[in-house]
Amino acid sequence: MGPCFHYCQTDGENSHFGINIYSNARQYSPKIKLVVGPFTHSAPEDNSPGPGFDGKSDMVSWFDYWLKGHDTGILAEPDLTLFIRNGTSAGEYRYYDHWPLNKMKSKRFFMMKNKKLEDTTSSWVMSSDKLEYKPWIGFEAGYWWGSSIDLDQSKYDRDCLVYESDVLQYAIEIIGYVNVSLQVSTTSKLAHWMIRLEDVYNQTAIMVTGGALNGAQRNNRSNPEYFIPNQIYNLTFRLHFTTWTFLPQHQIRLSISNAYFFTHWPTPEPMTTTIYHNPITYIDLPVISHCHSSASPIIPLFTQKSVDPSDEMYLNKLVYKSEPKIYYKTDTDFDTTITYETNTHQTINHIQIQSNLSFNFTCSHIDPSNVTWITQAKHFYRFLSTNRTLELITNMNVYSDNAYFYTNLNRLLTDNSQIKQQQLNYQFFGKQKRQFQ
C-alpha cells in the first residue's frame, strides 16, 4: 500500500472515514497523514470558521516529496492534525502522533429517572421513559449529520427523550467516538434510533455529534431481523467521530428519537418506544486528559506557511463558488415538507461548471409510510476553448407506502455543439419491496 493523505471534516457523515482508514491501514503504509478540520472534505482551504488551515501548502509539500523527491519536512510531521472544537470560540488545531490517543479514557454517563444524565448509579431507581413516534421531526438537526452547527436543537428536542447532566464545574474535552448502550422495546416490528450529543448553554443546544441505528441491523447488518413487539432488547452502537470541549457552566445533553427527517427515511408504522433506565443504558464519552503541561499537545505552525508562487499559479486555476443554501420547512396539520436548494459554480481547466440541486421531502402526519421525495439536479458545462456546452437535467420522484418504494427518474442530456444540437433521454421506473426499511 502506498502513502495516503486524507482530509475529512470535524462533523457529519464524512467525519469518521479518515480515522477508520488510518486505524486499519497504518501498518501497511509508509506514511498516512490525516487532517480533520472545520471544512468540507473537498475544500480544506475554506477557513470558515477558522482558525485558518493552509491546505494548499500541505498538499504541495506532500506531492513535492513523493513525486519530486524534495525533502519538504512533511514526513517529520505527526500523523494526525486534529481540529479541537470549542463550545464558544472556533477552537484550535493540534498535532498527535498516532491513533488512538494515549491520553484517552472513557467517561460513562447513565440515563436516569427525571431525565438526568449522571456519572454514577448511586441514585439509580428502576424506571423507564416512553416516546411517541413522530416521523416528520428532525429539521433542526440539518441534513446528513453535518450541517447543524449553528442550529439550536431545542425545538427538535421537544419531541425527543432528553437527558441532561448537571452544570459542569470543569471542562470536559472529547476526541473520538461516543459509544451508546440502550435497553429498549417498541410496539412495532421495526424502529430506528437517532442519538444526538449536545452542548447546552444559555438555553441553547448545539449538536456536537450524532449517529443512528436501524434496529433491524442491531446484531448484523447483512442479516437483519424484525423486533418482536414489546420485547426488551439491548442495543449498542457508536456516534460519528467528533472533537469538542464542554466548558464549565455548560451542560451535556443526550437526545433520543426514532426519526431524523429527511436524512433518514421514516419507518412505516406508528409506534411507541421505551427506554429502560438501568446500568446498561448509558453513553461513554472519549475524554482527553491534560493533567501535565509537559504532555500538552503540539500546536501546528502550518497557518504561517505559504504556497510557492509557481504552485499558486496552478492552484488558482481551480475556481469554486457556492451560493447560500436554501433550507426551510413548511408544516401543516397533515404533513411536513422540507425544502432544500443549493447552487455551485466552478472553473476547472477552462471548463465552466454550474450545478443546481433542489428537492422537497414531504412526510405525512397521519401515515408514517406516506413519504415523497421530489428532486431536480441541473448540471451545465461550458468548454471555453470551443464554446461547446453540455446540459444534464435529472428529475426524480421517490415515494413510499407501507410495502414498497416507487421510483420515477428521467435524465435529459443536451449537447449544444457548433454543428448541431443533440439530445439523449433516459427514463427509469422502479418498484422495490421494503426490506427492513
Per-residue pLDDT reduced to its tens digit, 142-169? 877 766 556 789 999 999 999 999 999 9
**436's grid cell:** 427492513
**141's grid cell:** 438537526
Mean pLDDT of the 95-120 span: 91
CA 435 to chain centre: 25
**pLDDT confidence bin for 112, thresholds 50/70/90:** very high
Picking from 273, 288, 170, the residue whose alpha carbon sits closest to that of residue 215 is 273
The CA-based angle 295-298-303, given to 5 degrees, is 165
pLDDT at 129: 97
* Contact status, residue 84 vs residue 268, Cβ threshold 8 Å: no
**pLDDT confidence bin for 329, thresholds 50/70/90:** very high
pLDDT at 297: 66
pLDDT at 316: 47
**pLDDT confidence bin for 314, thresholds 50/70/90:** very low
Mean pLDDT of the 236-255 span: 95
* Contact status, residue 87 vs residue 244, Cβ threshold 8 Å: yes
Residue 304 has pLDDT above 70, yes or no: no
Q: What percent of the chain has pLDDT over 90?
A: 57
CA 305 to chain centre: 30
Q: What is the DSSP letter of 298?
A: B
DSSP output for 207-263: EEEEEEEEGGGSS-TTS--PPPTT--EEEEEEPPPEEEEEPTT-EEEEEEES--TTT
**What is the C-alpha to C-alpha distance for residues 392 and 381, in angstroms, rounded to an integer?**
9
pTM of the model as a whole: 0.88
Q: What percent of the chain has pLDDT over 70?
A: 86
**pLDDT confidence bin for 292, thresholds 50/70/90:** very low
Q: What is the DSSP letter of 217?
A: G
Q: What is the number of residues in the chain? A: 437
Residue 406 has pLDDT above 60, yes or no: yes
* Contact status, residue 255 vs residue 196, Cβ threshold 8 Å: yes
Higher pLDDT, 402 or 290: 402
CB burial string 348-379: b at 16+ within 10 A, e below: eeeeebebbbebbbbbbeebbbbbbbbbbeeb
pLDDT mean across residues, the chain: 87
pLDDT at 404: 98
User: What pLDDT digit, counting tens, does each position of 8-67 carry?
Assistant: 877 666 677 888 888 888 888 888 888 888 776 666 665 555 566 777 778 888 999 999
pLDDT at 315: 45
